[in-house]
Amino acid sequence: MKMRRLTLLFAALVALTGVKAQTFTEWRDPNVNEINRQKMHSTYKVFESVAKAEGEYCDEQNPYRLSLNGTWRFNWVENADQRPTDFFAVGYNDKGWDRMEVPAMWELNGYGDPVYVNIGYAWRGNFRHDPPNVPIEQNHVGSYRREFTLPAEWSGRDIELNIGAATSNVYVWVNGKFVGYSEDSHLGASFDITKFVKAGQNLIALQIFRWCDGSYLEDQDLWRLSGISRDVELVARPKARLQDVMITPALENNYTDGSLAVEMEFSAAVKQAEVKLLCPKGEVVAEATVKPAKGKASHTFEVKAPAKWSAEAPNLYKVVIAVDGEAYAQRVGFRTSEIKDGLLLVNGQPVLIKGVNRHEVDPLKGFVMTRERMIQDIRLMKQFNINAVRTCHYPDTPEWYDLCDEYGLYVIDEANIESHGMGYGENTLAKEPRYAKAHLERNSRMVERDKNHASVIIWSMGNEAGFGPNFEACYRWIREADPSRPIHYERAEGNDFTDIMCPMYADLEWCEKYLQSSPKKPLIQCEYAHAMGNSMGGFKEYWDLIRKYPQYQGGFIWDFVDQGLAQYEADGKVSFYYGGDYNNYDATDNSFNNNGMIAADRTPQAHAYEVRREYQSVWTRAVDLMAGKVEVYNENFFVGLEPYAMVWELQQDGVVTKAGRIEKLEVGPQQRKAFTLGYKQEDICSEAKEVVLNVRYELKQKQPLLDIGYVVAAQQHIIKEYDTAAAFALKESEREVKVTKFEKSTQVTGYDWVVGFNREGFINQIEYGRQTIVADDSALRPNFWRAPTENDIGARLHTRYGVWRNPAMVLKSFDAKVEDGVAKAVAEYEMKSVEATMRITYTINGEGEIRVEQAMTTSAEAKVQNMFRYGVRLELPAEYNVVEYYGRGEVENYADRKSAADIGHYVQRVADQYNEKMARPQESGTRSDLRYYELKNTAGAGIRIISDVAFSASALPYSQEAMDVTVGPLQRHSGDLKADGKTHLCFDLEQMGLGCINSWGQLPLEKYRVEYKDYTFNFIISPVR
């Protein structure tokens, strides 16, 4: 690495800016992004003694730090030209001002409304994009005032003001005098205020604009909020001090031995400094004395066989630098990151990136992230086998990187640049000379701040900001300043200004074509598997391809957590608001900011479990399942399986009949090993209809953030598969059946049951004893529709497939009679709107069991769209509120999202079937590969459904119509759904998959679509008494 080696152009631009005086036009001048802002430096910790620096990695108790968090006096105006212009004066009367906490976002505290847009800036529709000009109207301005008392013991020290982050800019005054100015909403700004402060009480004043010229570079896909989102503090520094340090690890001798190059910058008063290296146990393993020349010094520590850092084993060393009465600590890891032979290598290994994109959005605090929330997010990532995170689309809170270092996550660190609203053509700001300096500043300051973090393995120059000379300059600067990490930028596509092929939402066909082209760059999708709503179908196919091609090294799911903001309703219930919920006059992209595999309240969505299964790193391969022989594969690159125990279960017809545990799993990284489990062929019952082997891997001891017994991986293998066709038959019955025809209906009756048909030929009455199965005004009818998912809506399937919403079925003939001891009824229909016919045949035995053959014949010449499903629907009274099934569970699952849903026996409440954590109502609750499905009341009475093939079903307290947001207002919430007194049952021969390639047009993979063709669905409804 090379310490602060700026290009001459950049150095000149910075120097030119630094001497510019305040004009109050900086907020719309792209040539002025800062005034008097100090150079960015790495985020080392500062302590008052070496002993403390060698101890706990936290400097919050340093007596030379003074937090300015808390309550400030606050003034807010709606339009920029209404802002106060003399409020910073010491004698200004602010008694009428409001109060505002710091850090806090204005919009979440009653000042303006939260606005969400994906593309196009928050002023979209009200102001023409005209960089660097931004609106005056609706450009809210917040002005802050606060007094502080300078501690007496700080006398003789230099005083720094650190503002962690302010959106979109910040002006600073101290004691009535102008100090400086800064832009960039996601990086800190430091100012030397030594000459502005005095002993005793002082006044600090800040002014922040909602929008400035820099806002054109901040068109990220997230809430548009304003205010101070990170800590504000004062720091007193001695005259003799460390200014910056860059620590560059290297690994030699086949990545076995290591070195740490420590390059330091000191103030002029420093004559000598002590440098120590502490191992992960906290012991000093090396030390040296350095004497700066012209403020710079360096030392390289050579370490034999160091404990290396990786996301799997985050071993951290600590560099401690002592200067006079102050000491500094920086945690570091022996870790390399490079592109070699077309692969991304970490410590020489071609790691798999099992990643997510994560916005810094808290449902209660907006952009303000607490340590507790960050640890919660990392715990969830660890629980769901995520090993990498992209800081979309800006640098995160500095503490986030400390935590990623500590707990082990690979990080793509991304600069705060997105100008998506300007497009990618000639108007892109990547080609705009007036924004060249801002591009370079935002990238260089990120690198300077985060350069020492072991977790940061890739730099990203920005997101969706076009491509042009401004990014070429950024790439060259980063490459010179830090040659130790690859550089990533999606809009560079295949050119020389990205080291990784990092597309967004590339489908499987595109990926495989690239991988078969002998590429020179690894393929790591910066965004893929769009997780909006009920989604993530086809995720397994992505990972099948990733595991097939070594150069396909993974990707980053879009995205980690829904951006919903908590809103307390009048009844005390918490709703999570999305775009457009706060007002109807601002621009909005509605629910498009709810794309998380985790809900806003940090509850895992159903599709998170699919991610956990596909991202797991321990796999079991069947060798000879009848004899209990398997092979275990350790997909990790750096750690063995010693921390885990294997737990296996032999499950027969949904019941565990034998189980065991293997404590000793000595399987090294990337190694395979055979194991024989503790069952034999004679343990498998020959009478069992289905036999499966469940294997899971549990932690034997507690790990950071994961408890003992936590399951890190699981798999299911079918030993003997259920024969649905063999089990599909009506019972033999000697009981009499009777058919009675009325003018508008037909009844089939038995000893204590009734099945009735309405005038349309559909079953509208089923009674078993005293149990009424069919709800009033309901009937057993063919069903081709579902409440559209977010992906369906994005592909406009509610319009394209609209003919299947409720196609007219005109009854052409109906007949019912008793034949061979059973009742038989046949109904034939014409379906002109879909150019098809339907024949439904009913066979009812003396026990009241109903066998149905629902056969649709289509026209080969017709140009009719596909359908959502081919199945049946029925409404039952709400008393049937328990589902019991044998099939895939326990979470909802679909044809293209079921690898994490194991076959088993499950009993659940109807009330729990709908996923209320989804932002908007949509299809939910389906269980697939069913062998049988029962819907019962609490007394255990109800119905059982079987088919001659594995089928899917759902039972919900809401109708398809209630969940269909494409009819009526789109702006609805799942939490607003109201149970209607019925249980809504759907069961299907086929239902279309969910898809995940994107949410704006791509369909599920072809094999998971329900095509327009002939179908026959055979099923039996029988009583459960």
Identify the band that residue 813 occupies on the pLDDT scale cut at 50, 70 and 90. Answer: very high
- Concatenating the DSSP letter of every residue in 723-784 gives -HHHH--PPP-----EEEE-SS-EEEE-SSEEEEE-TTS-EEEEEETTEE-SPTT--BEEE-
Task: Give the pair of three-digit tokens for residue 417.
Answer: 């640049």
Identify the band that residue 2 occupies on the pLDDT scale cut at 50, 70 and 90. Answer: very low
We report the CATH number of the domain holding residue 936 as 2.70.98.10
Is the separation of the CB atoms in 395 and 462 below 8 Å?
A: no
- Per-residue DSSP letter, 790: H
Residues 835 and 893 placed together within one structural domain of the fold: yes
Residue 345 domain-assigned (yes or no): yes
Tell me, letter by letter, the H, E, C secondary structure of 504-537: ECCCHHHHHHHHCCCCCCCEEEEEECCCCCCCCC
* Domain stop point among 684, 700, 722: 722
Residues 520 and 602 placed together within one structural domain of the fold: yes
pLDDT tens across 986-1018, in order? 999 999 999 999 999 999 999 999 999 999 999
The confidence score (pLDDT) of residue 883 equals: 99
Residue 104 domain-assigned (yes or no): yes
Residue 686 domain-assigned (yes or no): yes
Residue 573 domain-assigned (yes or no): no
Residues 432 and 518 placed together within one structural domain of the fold: yes
Identify the band that residue 585 occupies on the pLDDT scale cut at 50, 70 and 90. Answer: confident
Average pLDDT over residues 835-862: 98
- The label of the residue with tokens 């700001």 reads 429
Residues 623 and 523 placed together within one structural domain of the fold: no
pLDDT tens across 692-722, in order? 999 999 999 999 999 999 999 999 999 999 9
Identify the band that residue 21 occupies on the pLDDT scale cut at 50, 70 and 90. Answer: low
> Which residues are CB-neighbours of 742 under 8 A, at least 6 positions away?
none
Average pLDDT over residues 949-967: 98
Task: Name which of 188, 591, 127 is nearest 395 in CA terms.
Answer: 188
Residue 186 domain-assigned (yes or no): yes
- Are β-strands 771-772 and 317-323 bridged in parallel, bridged antiparallel, or unpaired? unpaired
Identify the band that residue 686 occupies on the pLDDT scale cut at 50, 70 and 90. Answer: confident
Residues 663 and 807 placed together within one structural domain of the fold: no
Residues 599 and 661 placed together within one structural domain of the fold: no
> Which residues are CB-neighbours of 310 under 8 A, at least 6 positions away?
335, 346, 347, 351, 408, 637, 638
Residues 861 and 955 placed together within one structural domain of the fold: yes
Domain enclosing residue 626, as ranges: 616-722
Bridge partners for 754 per DSSP:
749, 767
pLDDT tens across 882-935, in order? 999 999 999 999 999 999 999 999 999 999 999 999 999 999 999 999 999 999
pLDDT tens across 169-222, in order? 999 999 999 999 999 999 999 999 999 999 999 999 999 999 999 999 999 999
Residues 904 and 981 placed together within one structural domain of the fold: yes
Residues 79 and 206 placed together within one structural domain of the fold: yes
Residue 36 in this model has a pLDDT that exceeds 60: yes
Average pLDDT over residues 844-862: 98
Identify the band that residue 99 occupies on the pLDDT scale cut at 50, 70 and 90. Answer: very high
As for how many domains the chain has, the answer is 4
Identify the band that residue 570 occupies on the pLDDT scale cut at 50, 70 and 90. Answer: confident
Average pLDDT over residues 402-415: 99
Residue 8 in this model has a pLDDT that exceeds 60: no
- Are β-strands 629-634 and 618-624 bridged in parallel, bridged antiparallel, or unpaired? antiparallel
Residue 953 domain-assigned (yes or no): yes
* Domain stop point among 216, 237, 258: 237
Average pLDDT, the chain: 96
Residues 606 and 654 placed together within one structural domain of the fold: no
We report the CATH number of the domain holding residue 168 as 2.60.120.260
pLDDT tens across 739-783, in order? 999 999 999 999 999 999 999 999 999 999 999 999 999 999 999
Is the separation of the CB atoms in 877 and 863 below 8 Å?
A: no
Residue 395 in this model has a pLDDT that exceeds 80: yes
We report the CATH number of the domain holding residue 707 as 2.60.40.10
The confidence score (pLDDT) of residue 20 equals: 54
**Residues classed as catalytic:** 464, 527
We report the CATH number of the domain holding residue 492 as 3.20.20.80
Query: At residue 555, what is the residue type?
Result: G
Residues 890 and 983 placed together within one structural domain of the fold: yes
Residue 743 domain-assigned (yes or no): no
Residue 83 in this model has a pLDDT that exceeds 80: yes
- The label of the residue with tokens 């715990």 reads 379
Identify the band that residue 6 occupies on the pLDDT scale cut at 50, 70 and 90. Answer: very low
pLDDT tens across 128-138, in order? 999 999 999 99
Residues 626 and 552 placed together within one structural domain of the fold: no
- The label of the residue with tokens 């998971």 reads 1008
Omega before residue 168 within 30° of 0, cis:
yes
* Domain stop point among 194, 221, 237: 237
